[in-house]
Chains A and B, each alone.
Chain A
Amino acid sequence: MSAIALERPRSRYAGRMKAGTTRAAVLLLVLAALWGLWEGSRALWIHEGWTWPFAVSDITMPHLNAIVEQLFKPATTGGPLLITILWHSALFTAKEALVGFAVGASIGFVLGVALAHVRLLQRGLLPYVVASQTIPILAIAPMVVVGFGSLDIYGWTPVDWLRVAVIAAYLTFFPVTVNTLRGLQSADPRALELMHSYAAGGWSILWKLRVPAALPYLFSAFKVAATASVVGAIIGEAPSSIPNGLGGAIITFNQYYSLEPKNLWATNLVAALLGIVFFLAVVVVEKLVVRTAPENIA
């Protein structure tokens, strides 16, 4: 048994290289399959003239390569390239999502810790935490984004993107709270007895045992929350006529869809990429922070 245990670190580098190559190959394969599915069904529907669920044309389903090409064309005659516009929109939305994520994750964590420590709070508050997520975000987004616009805190009014960040935070905190609670309770009962035998206080038990034990759970939550924060930022922009972000771009290009559908598709592509970047950022941080048995990493 110890022989196996000792060999693993030595061969880890080679193993990682091989795993990386495999992963890249799988990624390419999946992308190719998606492309094939899109173009294949497109060709089939047009060839057969099927109209269910919708008639396929260059308007409803543009060629994928045309969508990508659209990124490198000017959005308006003589104007900047579409990708330049979307790049700035994405940065604006990313700023909202990032701040929202940070605030939401912090609130979610603190709330999770509170719920884990006070049983009464857990029984009394948790149902409302769950209920908060059943309210349609589309319903509260305008209230928050427009409503907070008339907020006056000693002469300071939160700027528009900060108000959108609140929506992102609203979507972020919930998975973090639930997983923090779960993770903090996942600590080995024997390890708790051990801390008890050292006469450890609540603070040391939290930071030396419960939080490290909760990290794998926390990062699962962060992965869900990272993509949710991007969605929250986009949705927060949409009903509030904030034009600078991806949500604004989606609204605009949606209005001109019948004239130029590829703009909207290209925007969707960029929005999806932003979500993926957020997700991967969490994965990278997890790899750096979480030191646990490989099989425990979700």
Chain B
Amino acid sequence: MNAQSVVSIAGVSKVFGRGGVTALHDIDLEIGSGEFVSLIGPSGCGKSTLLRIVGDIIEPTSGKVVVNGKPARQARLDRDYGIVFQSPVLYDWRTVAKNIALPLEMLGWERGRRTRRVQEMVELVDLTGFETHHPWQLSGGMQQRVSIARAFSFSPALLLMDEPFGALDEMTRERLNMELLRVWLEMQSTVVFVTHSISEAVFLSTRVAVMSARPGRITAVVPVDLPQPRTAETREEPRFFELVTEVREQLHAAGADAVLEEAVLE
């Protein structure tokens, strides 16, 4: 574990139920400061489970997770995590501004500082003019932007994102990909991002961790050497396609059967 490491996952396994399904088997992964690491794999490969273990939402059966040099539990108690789920999970009874302010309230920031930061975040995710709207007055894409602003608002050491754009249409998804990268560069944060879209993983990440199913293992880590900042043109570069192909081949090598099986099941 080097000094720059934000997340250190060592020998993590997770078994659900008594002697039941092995969701994760012996996972090792180091994530450095400022990295954007995607976990990709077929559904059921445990990528969300791994994310939730890192965030101390659930506990591993064995192995350990160290975040910022502390056990995951301590990191959570120190409010080192920002979380974005697939659904925006906004509070209906709060306005956009108040939703973004929620973690700041929990951290005990005083009102003036809170208001200033909320304003910055609203501008950052391009929601100026919608501060007093309620979540149900916004489109799905806008709601997810609020959710992202909320997660980044207190500059947590680590951002955990669980398929945040999975429920959105392709157009909105690509636009939010760009916005997320802009916010990530500006806030200089570290992100762990779960997705099952290969192109999304390659476009966003500095590294892509490929996972296989049953039991969930990391079978390859593909470094993405596309230059920053990435733009709409990045998706048209030959190197982008090479990397997409590489990740796809790694996924198939990891267990094409599982992928096909899932495709049939879905």
- A residues near B, CB below 8 A? 1-2, 5-6, 8-9, 188, 190-191, 193-200, 204, 208-209, 212, 215, 290-294, 296
Are A2 and B142 interface neighbours, CB within 8 A? Answer: yes
Kindly state the separation between the CA atoms of A215 and B92 in the bound complex, as whole angstroms.
11
> Contacts A5-B138, A190-B85, A208-B105 known; A197 to B57 CB distance under 8 Å?
yes
B138 & A204 in contact (Cβ 8 Å cutoff): no
Min distance, Cβ A223 to any Cβ of chain B, angstroms: 19
Residue among B81, B93, B135 making CB contact with A197, cutoff 8 Å: B81
Q: Is B117 an interface residue (CB 8 A)?
A: no
Asked, given contacts A215-B93, A291-B93, whether A198 binds B103 with beta carbons under 8 Å apart, the answer is yes
A290 to B136, CA, bound (A): 14
Chain B positions within 8 Å of A208 at CB level: 91, 102, 105-106
The reply to whether A200 and B139 contact each other, CB–CB distance below 8 Å, is no
Inter-chain CA distance A271–B73, complex, in Å, is 59
12 new A-B contacts, CB < 8 A, other than A212-B93, A293-B134, are A1-B139, A190-B87, A193-B85, A194-B83, A197-B81, A198-B106, A199-B77, A204-B106, A292-B134, A292-B136, A293-B136, A296-B92
What CA separation (Å) do A204 and B105 show in the bound complex? 10
Using CB atoms, name the residue of chain B closest to A204. Answer: B106
User: Chain B 32-62, CB within 8 Å of chain A: the 1/0 string?
Assistant: 0000000000000000000000011100000
Pairwise interchain contact B137-A8, C-beta atoms closer than 8 A: yes
Write the chain B residue with the least CB distance to A9. B137
A5, A208, A212, most chain B CB atoms within 10 A: A5
Q: Mark B83-109, 1 if CB is under 8 A from A, else 0.
A: 101010101111000000011011100
Min Cβ gap B84→A in Å is: 10
Nearest Cβ distance between residue A41 and chain B, in whole angstroms? 46
Is A1 in contact with B140, judged by CB distance below 8 angstroms?
A: yes
Q: How far is the CA of A191 from the CA of B106 in the complex (A)?
A: 14
Query: Which residues of chain A are near B79, meaning CB under 8 Å?
Result: 198-199
Q: Interface size bucket, B side? A: 20 to 34
A125 to chain B, nearest CB (A): 29
Interface of chain A: mostly helix, strand, loop or mixed: helix
B141 is an interface residue with CB less than 8 A from chain A: yes
Give the residue among B81, B82, B92, B135 with the most A Cβ atoms within 10 A: B92
A215–B91 CA distance with the chains assembled, in angstroms: 13
Task: Name the distance in Å between B132's Cβ and chain A's nearest Cβ.
Answer: 10
Q: Is B76 an interface residue (CB 8 A)?
A: yes
Contacts of A190 in B (CB 8 A): 85, 87, 89
B89 near A188: Cβ-Cβ < 8 Å: yes
CB pair A191–B91 under 8 Å, yes or no, is yes
The answer to whether A2 touches B138 (Cβ under 8 A) is: yes
For A291, list chain B residues within 8 Å (CB). Answer: 92-94, 134
3 residue pairs, one from A and one from B, having the closest CB atoms: A293-B136, A2-B139, A198-B106
